[in-house]
Amino acid sequence: MIYLLIFVFGLIMGSFYMVVGIRLPLKKSIIKPRSHCEKCNHYLKWYELIPVISFVLQKGKCNNCHQKISKFYPLCELLCGLLFLLNYIIFGFSFKFLTSILISSLMIIIFISDFKYYIILDSPILIASILYLILEFIFLDIKTTILSFCSGVTMFVIMILIMLLGNLIFKRESLGGGDIKLSFFIGMVLVPRLSLISLIFASFFALIYACIFLQIKKESEIPYGPFLMIGFYITFLLSPYLLMFLDSI
Ligand SMILES: [Zn+2]
């Protein structure tokens, strides 16, 4: 029963993050106007707003204009539900579970906005950072909270140095401001050694993506934020093993 509740909660939050990720980059309010069909502006009724289920019942089409609804919506909601469930299975109800929920939520919002508009929003990073510090203060202690904040600042400075170096070598903007702000959050949650490992994971995945998609799409830039988040999330999940490995070498 609790698994189902967590999964459904994830679906609902996923649906909300979809609105945040799509509307905020366009400077639109996330409250008004109400959710509507992108093609005919038909306002959605409550039974058309149920995550995933409405999409399946309506066979992926708008009830009013019968045009196709993007599969992106239910997929994002489903991903969010599954991530929440996975976090609960791994961590149970604990500080780590709440942290992993924060990371997954930020990851989904960044997936949406960075892939869709090449934008990483400031406000979700800021909210996630503040919530994380509050969680640490409640579950751990004030000393750890301050240390995490300093660790975030260190990571932020390291990324600025990497950006300056990158700009110098490639003679163009190498990292976006959003990537650097994101690294502040990553630095806060992970210890410095693991933050650097998460950067290596991120670069590895971004490289694979670039090799495949730059060939197909012929574009010259790729969003880096989603890969930073994937590297971060994987490092967070594997952190006990990675620390053990680092200590052994
Ligand atoms: Zn419609």
User: CA gyration radius for the chain?
Assistant: 19
- pLDDT greater at residue 89 or residue 221: 89
Domain-embedded: residue 201: yes
pLDDT band at 110 (very low <50, low <70, confident <90, very high): very high
Per-residue CA distances from 235 to 22, 39, 53 (Å): 27, 40, 33
Residue 217 reports pLDDT greater than 80: no
Q: How far is the CA of 40 from the centre of ligand 1 (A)?
A: 4
Q: 50: CA distance to ligand 1 center in Å? A: 16
Could you tell me if 82 and 139 lie in one domain? no
Q: Are residues 179 and 86 in the same domain?
A: no
Residue 112 forms part of a structural domain? no
What residue numbers bound the domain in which 82 lies?
Answer: 1-93
pLDDT one-digit tens code per residue, 145-163: 999 999 999 999 998 998 8
Q: What is the pLDDT of residue 221?
A: 74
Structure tokens at 75: 């997929």
**DSSP class of 79:** H
- pTM for the complete prediction? 0.89
- The band of 174, judged by pLDDT with boundaries at 50, 70 and 90, is confident
| Domain's final residue, options 93, 108, 128 | 93
Which tokens in the block code for residue 179? 């990537």
Question: Which ranges constitute the DSSP H helices of 118-224?
Answer: 122-139, 142-170, 177-189, 192-217
Helix axes 225-248, 177-189, angle to 10 degrees: 30
Residue 147 and residue 51 share a domain? no
* 79 and 165, same domain (yes or no): no
Are residues 4 and 67 part of one domain?
A: yes
Are 85 and 141 in the same domain?
no
177 C-alpha to ligand 1 centroid (Å): 36
Q: How many domains does the chain have?
A: 2
- 207 assigned to some structural domain: yes
Task: Choose one of 93, 111, 135: the last residue of a domain.
Answer: 93
Q: Looking at the predicted structure, is the pLDDT value of residue 102 above 90?
A: yes
- In angstroms, what is the span from residue 112 Cα to ligand 1's centroid? 22
Average pLDDT over residues 86-113: 94
**Count of C-beta atoms within a 10 Å radius of residue 187:** 27
Residues of the chain with pLDDT > 90, as a percent, come to 57
* 123 in the same domain as 88: no
**Does 123 lie in the same domain as 87?**
no
CA 38 to ligand 1 centroid distance, Å: 7
Tell whether 69 and 162 lie within a shared domain: no
Instruction: Give me the chain's average pLDDT, please.
Output: 90
Q: What is the pLDDT of residue 194?
A: 93
| Mean pLDDT confidence for 87-100 | 94
Angle at alpha carbon of residue 206, lines to 169 and 242, rounded to 5°: 105
**Ligand 1 centroid from CA 216, angstroms:** 31
Residue 113: inside a domain: no
**DSSP track, 100-116:** HHHHHHHHHHHHHHHHH
Measured distance CA(145)–CA(205) in Å, rounded? 30
Query: Is 184 inside a domain boundary?
Result: yes
Residues 126 and 197 in one domain: yes
Determine the distance from the C-alpha atom of residue 71 to the mean position of all C-alpha atoms in its chain, rounded to a whole number.
Answer: 19
Among the three residues 76, 93, 110, which one is the final residue of a domain in this structure? 93
Q: Output the CA 35–ligand 1 centroid distance in Å.
A: 11
Mean pLDDT of 161-166: 89
pLDDT of residue 169: 86
Evaluate whether residue 99 is within a structural domain: no
